A and B are shown apart, each in its own frame.
Chain A
Amino acid sequence: MWDTFKTRWQQGHRTQAFPPAQPLPERFRGRPTIDAGRCAAGCTACRDACPTEAITLAPLTFDLGRCTFCPACAEACPSGAIAWTPDYRLATRTREGLLLRDAALPLATALDRKMRALFGRSLKLRQVSAGGCNGCELELQALNNVVFDLSRFGIQFVASPRHADGLVITGPVTANMRLALQKTYEAVPDPKLVIAVGACAISGGPFLNSPACHNGATSTVPVDLFIPGCPPHPLTILDGLLRLLGRLESGRERNTA
């Protein structure tokens, strides 16, 4: 008994404040910044280096829904036009919102008044892995640990879709999981939300155009919130969820470079 108390005392209080007091480490690759003004004419280095076809040229556009946040483009760029920032705030309400052309990213807006009245203070989610590699799944699980402590915001993962207000989908939606995903979606009572987490669930990610997959959740169900990353940091997911619920003041939390 004494040891139980001693260990409890030694472990201390580990729950992290949100938004976090400290910035993420320097090497953390969050939202990239692109300065197309520095691009040499005819240069295609970043597009050619990108493993997931996330970059298109004229105008230079990053599709953060396809991006795995690997450093290949920044390393390939001869003029230093691409840089990674440790800004973890990335979630958007629309697929088009993830197309990054300059520093501004339209961060997720809140649900309408009626939906906020329903879910704003209590949101129950059912997670479906539809071909996820377990990266995004582990980060969603990590939200339940004492550090991120998701339940303090009134958000919980539940065991049955019938108890849920929405689905969190990970993975590129494999052909073998499509039916199960559809059935789970139908089992969630209306009105319901769908949240796509990770590059695979948004676009197929590394499995883009694989014959065994369907390039993400939008192939099968309508999506209300897109949380990019490979996998997204737990703070990125938390930020997206709280923005969707209108729990972060959009004015104060404007995304600035």
Chain B
Amino acid sequence: MNLGGCSARNGVAVVTTAIPQLAPEAWRLWIVTTCQTARARLLALPTAATAEGGRCVYAILGLDTRNELRIAATTFPAGHAAYPALTPDLPEAQLFERVVYEQHGIFPEGHPWLKPVRTQRDYPFFAVEGDAVHEVAVGPVHAGIIEPGHFRFQCHGEQVLHLEIALGYQHRGASALLRVATPARRAVVAESLAGDTVIGHSWAYAQAIEGLAGVAVAHHAQQLRALALELERLANHVGDLGALAADIGYLPAAAYFGRLRGEFLNLLMELTGNRYGRSLVYPGGVCHAFTAALRARCGTKLAEAERDLKAIADLFFAESTVVTRLEQTGVVAKKVARQLGLVGPAARASNLLRDVRTDYPSGAYRFHYIPPVRLASGDVYARALLRVLEAQQALTFAAEQCRIVHRVEPGAPCESLAADRLVVSLIEGWRGEIVHVVRTDAYGAIDAYDVVDPSFHNWMGLAWACRGGQISDFPLCNKSFNLSYAGHDL
């Protein structure tokens, strides 16, 4: 079957001129048919400036079962531009099209939900009308120590009919900075896209630059990156379990999971000098050596953590009141998850097998297969249990890396980037699929940089999960997704 578009692989740059340029209608048709008939997914919809002052929009489609990406582009002239929206046929495109409209004024005709994404000016909230219907507004400043966002619940009695989440408060101009900043600054901004996903985003950034520079990274450096990425996954998964335990009032598990989370962060600090692994991954390699003493220390700490995780998870999931509270709360059915384009643990808990580590493996994941976990029920219970199962796998994987990684040599610098290239870099962060798309101009300078954090796909999933439940279910749904505001707002 000829799928059309330009074929690409994760982290390998393609020549920009090899990407077919289609008329807007043909481009739209190609995206919709490829997604509907070949089970492709829309991974990103980045935009770049053209020499004539217009806008070129790339559609990056992923074929999960073929480890292949397909790219096609369309160009809109400067001034008023419009095309028939993708969203009516492809709901997963809804937020992408809103971003393109908000940033570049390219109007998606027939878009059913064309609301602001990263600005709060006159946000048109959906309102349910009728007797005994009331509205609850929360935020942007929330009660806990978390990032800001504004939530509106439309309720009928106890029942939540609709939840609308308006974000954008965290918009820091990160994508624009990544385009114009110096390489040193770019690395720090990439690490700060989402502060709980430092390794995920810095690796995605490094992989993109390595692809553009044509630099191959030493295998041991790739293994150390994978070890750090799994430690990040462990810290966050375990932390989320603790937060869930706290929200249902089961404090022993909350305290123990909270402490265990710190053990993984401290291990990352021993490895990198920073609890979140900042300054470890850079284009070309890793900053720190993996000494024999560190290997031994990592091995011991991981073995201890494995015992602790089992004991605490058994305590948590053996409690019938815990399980009852989690089961059938915040259900996202598989069909809905697919339509919304969910990624990461949220997708896998709704029975969708999506994992960059197995679908588009790069680095150490090309040699070490991690069998993906999926669960069928799509409720908070599934999203919680999935975290335990993934944490156990991550522990096994990390322990294995500790045994085999020996010396890590300083990597090759990525000084000059190839001209007229586009690279798509995918990493499975703990929250799901991270996408960085970078384009270079005729001089090898970066002229377009687009980031898709997994939260970008999953916020709508959280809104959906709350439907039909009670407001008191919201904290559980929220913790079970644990999405990034900064990663969404960029």
Q: Which residues of A does B touch, CB under 8 Å?
A: 3-4, 7-8, 10-11, 14, 24-25, 27-29, 49-52, 68-72, 84, 127-142, 145-147, 157, 159-161, 171-172, 174-177, 180, 184, 200, 205-207, 210-213, 230-231, 233
Contacts and interface: CB of A to CB of B under 8 A. Distances in A.
B194 A133 contact: yes
A177 B173 contact: no
A11 B259 contact: yes
Interface stretch (B15-23, B62-70, B138-146, B418-426): B138-146
A148 B171 CA distance: 31
B135 interface: no
A172 B172 contact: yes
Interface in B438-484: 484
A142 B140 CA distance: 22
Contact of A70 (B145, B146, B279): B279
Given A27-B288, A138-B239, A174-B171, 13 more contacts: A11-B255, A24-B269, A25-B270, A28-B273, A69-B274, A72-B279, A131-B171, A135-B196, A138-B196, A146-B255, A176-B170, A205-B192, A212-B171
Contacts of B256: 7, 11
B140 A180 contact: yes
Contacts of A131: 169-172, 486
25 contacts: A11-B256, A25-B269, A28-B269, A29-B274, A51-B185, A51-B187, A128-B141, A134-B486, A137-B145, A138-B276, A139-B275, A140-B145, A146-B259, A172-B172, A176-B119, A176-B171, A177-B148, A180-B148, A205-B192, A210-B173, A210-B176, A213-B172, A230-B274, A230-B278, A231-B195
A191 B331 CA distance: 47
A8 B252 contact: yes
Contact of A159 (B143, B171, B272, B485): B143
A52 B279 CA distance: 14
Counting contact residues on chain B (CB < 8 A from A), the size range is 35 or more
A207 B172 contact: yes
Contacts, number: 182
A176 B192 contact: no
Contacts of A72: 184, 279
Given A27-B270, A28-B269, A159 B144 contact: yes
B318 A174 contact: no
Contacts of B270: 25, 27
Contacts of B147: 129, 132, 134, 137
Contact of B170 (A8, A127, A147, A174): A174
B195 A27 contact: no
Nearest to A139: B275
Interface stretch (B6-14, B96-104, B309-317): B309-317
A71 B148 CA distance: 31
Contact of A129 (B148, B168, B314): B148
Interface string B154-177: 000000000000001111111011
A4 B318 CA distance: 10
B229 to A, nearest CB: 17
A4 B252 contact: yes
A126 B357 CA distance: 40
B287 to A, nearest CB: 6
A10 B198 CA distance: 32
Given A69-B274, A138-B196, A206 B288 contact: no
Contact of B192 (A3, A14, A29, A206): A206
Contacts of B271: 27
A27 B258 CA distance: 24
Interface centre among A4, A29, A176, A184 (most CB of B within 10 A): A176
Interface string B257-295: 011011001100111111110110000000110000000
Interface of B: 118-120, 140-141, 143-148, 168-174, 176-177, 182, 184-185, 187-189, 191-196, 198, 239, 252, 255-256, 258-259, 261-262, 265-266, 269-276, 278-279, 287-288, 308, 311-312, 314-315, 318, 484-486, 489
Nearest to A181: B141
Contact of B486 (A133, A142, A147, A211): A133
A50 B287 contact: no
Contacts of B144: 141, 157, 159
Contacts of B489: 176
B192 A207 contact: yes
A206 B173 CA distance: 11
Contacts of A139: 275
Contact of A233 (B191, B239, B275): B275
A134 B243 CA distance: 15
B192 A147 contact: no
Contacts of B272: 27
B243 to A, nearest CB: 9
A184 B273 contact: no
A157 B255 contact: no
Given A29-B274, A180-B141, A14 B172 contact: no
A233 B315 CA distance: 30
Contact of A135 (B118, B239, B252, B276): B276
B146 A137 contact: yes
Contact of B315 (A4, A51, A180, A184): A4
B182 A51 contact: yes
B196 A147 contact: no
A24 B315 CA distance: 32
B195 A137 contact: yes
A220 to B, nearest CB: 14
A56 to B, nearest CB: 16
4 tightest A-B CB contacts, nearest first:
A135-B195, A133-B195, A212-B173, A159-B143
B361 to A, nearest CB: 27
B252 A7 contact: yes
Given A3-B315, A50-B184, A213-B172, A135 B259 contact: no
A174 B269 contact: no
Given A68-B188, A231-B276, A127 B318 contact: no
A207 B177 contact: yes
B343 to A, nearest CB: 18
Given A11-B259, A146-B258, A206-B188, A138 B195 contact: yes
